[in-house]
Amino acid sequence: MTALTLSTAAASGLRADAIVVGVAKGPKGPVVAPGAEAVDNAYDGGLAGILETLGATGAEGEVTKLPAPSGFKAPVVVAVGLGAVPEKDDTFSAEALRRAAGVAARALAGAKKAAFALPMADAADAGVVAEGARLGAYTFDAYKDSGKDGKNSKGPLGEVALLGGKPRDAAYKAAIARATAVTEELNRARDLINTPPNDLDPEAFAAVATAAAKEHGIKVQVLDEKALEKGGYGGILGVGAGSAATPRLVKLSYTSPKASKHLAFVGKGITYDSGGISLKPAGHNETMKCDMSGAAAVFAAVVAAARLGLEVNVTGWLALAENMPSGSATRPGDVLRMYSGKTVEVLNTDAEGRLVLADALWKASEEKPDAIIDVATLTGAMVLALGSRTFGVMANDDAFRASVVEAAEEVGEESWPMPLPDHLRKGMDSPTADIANMGERMGGGLVAGLFLKEFVGEGITWAHLDIAGPAFNDGGPFGYTPKGGTGSAVRTLVRLAELTAAGDLG
């Protein structure tokens, strides 16, 4: 993974494959951003004019490469667009810096080292640039033939040196340490999401989580199919009934001796979702390896919290199953008795995520945490409502929902508050069971949220993140987001844990 260093060296004297500078979109053409003064001076103050001649505008995501000035040890200057010039007395947003760093790192795939001379006014800016660079440099090529001596694979950018950083400053060192922990775990989540389902079934996922937990001092408990049967986890077992790969419920417990609060994260982990008997049609099942993105996010967030030593107790619950059709699969019309004791009539076996989450939510509720946040690629309806880059946030407490949305915004994740209208609950009434797993078609994402709410313990604050849109990027890469698994919600969960540790949440 891309290494990070803080450097006080002059841009001209640093040995690197490229110098990265920022350029903004001004009213009269491109404007060289702060941080690149030394580079601009080496062009006699004419860098903006040269970039304009080459067609650069400073638009977000734009990359322009040009020969470095005479005397520079790096042969190439890479100018990356930051978007519009900030208003007077304002600065570039953290997300603008994060995205620009990601774009630059991806453009430099295969390079050994690059010096980033982007705007960095303080340690916080250094942290977001570092985060963007590491996330943008991400590649997943575990299943590709790299050829003799690895020549068929460029691989990620090897090292990023942050010019203007202060290597001995405690705040800068802390910012880089945080960026390192969060990005390593987020990229681990991406790896899991991108791993083919024939290599990542529930047992394999549980093994990965167990190994990481032991490495970072996290307690782990894995309930296999026998333990699930003994415990009465009808939702998880019902979803996994059709697969030869048996389900698991994984509990990850990070505890801090200084903690006064306890958060529970619950993740949907369908390692492959065929839809079951309610089979998905062609065109809708090819990327369903990503249906465990919620569990990957929870896993990554718990490990990141442990690595950061946050003063909050965090428990992660990974509800893992494979949803397949077979003679033993749950059928539409079957009734499952859930871990909570409630019965659920299964009207559609492709509405399976809410079934595994229901068991995990009730189990998490038994520990009486201060708040529960579940994360799931739950509904296509949420994608229709919010698109492919924004996740929906529902909650049983409006103030908590607002806090989750605000936390997501702080770390650069797009989210939107969604309601839980009481009138939609009636659509899930069943003549046979306590509740059905389907309701009204319109507002399907909200219906799913209402179903989950039924399995949250009384008096416990809860939020539901439906990441069906942003969890997997079918299109081309953008900003620091790659094609494939994105690691959506990891940074939001980590931020919620940080806020809770600081006493600023709940």
- Residue from 73, 166, 173, 280 carrying the catalytic annotation: 280
Report how far residue 135's alpha carbon sits from residue 184's, in angstroms, rounded to the nearest whole number: 9
Helix or strand run (H / E) with residue 263: strand 262-273
Q: Which helix (H) or strand (E) holds 283?
A: none
Half-sphere exposure of 459 (CA within 13 A, CB side): 4
Q: What is the dihedral of CA 163, 166, 170, 172, to 10 degrees?
A: -20
Q: Which helix (H) or strand (E) holds 315?
A: strand 313-323
> Using only C-alpha atoms, what is the Rg of the chain?
24
Q: What angle do CA 345, 292, 185 make, to 5 degrees?
A: 150
Question: Which ranges constitute the DSSP H helices of 391-489?
Answer: 398-410, 444-453
Q: How far apart are CA 267 and CA 492, in angstroms?
A: 14
* Phi then psi dihedrals of residue 505, to 5 deg: -135, 120
Q: In this structure, how many other beta carbons lie within 10 angstroms of the beta carbon of residue 342? A: 17
Q: Rounded to whole angstroms, how far apart are CA atoms 405 and 365?
A: 22
Choose among 230, 296, 308, 228: nearest CA to 488: 296
Is 354 one of the catalytic residues?
Answer: yes
Active site residue 280: yes
- 190 closest CA partner among 493, 492, 490, 486: 486
* E strand or H helix that includes residue 369: none
Q: What are phi and psi of 456, to 5 degrees?
A: -100, 130
DSSP 470: T
Which member of 354, 401, 491, 495 is catalytic? 354
CA neighbor of 129 nearest in space, from 140, 114, 110, 139 = 114
Phi, psi of 171 (to 5 degrees): -65, -40
Which residues belong to the active site?
A: 280, 354
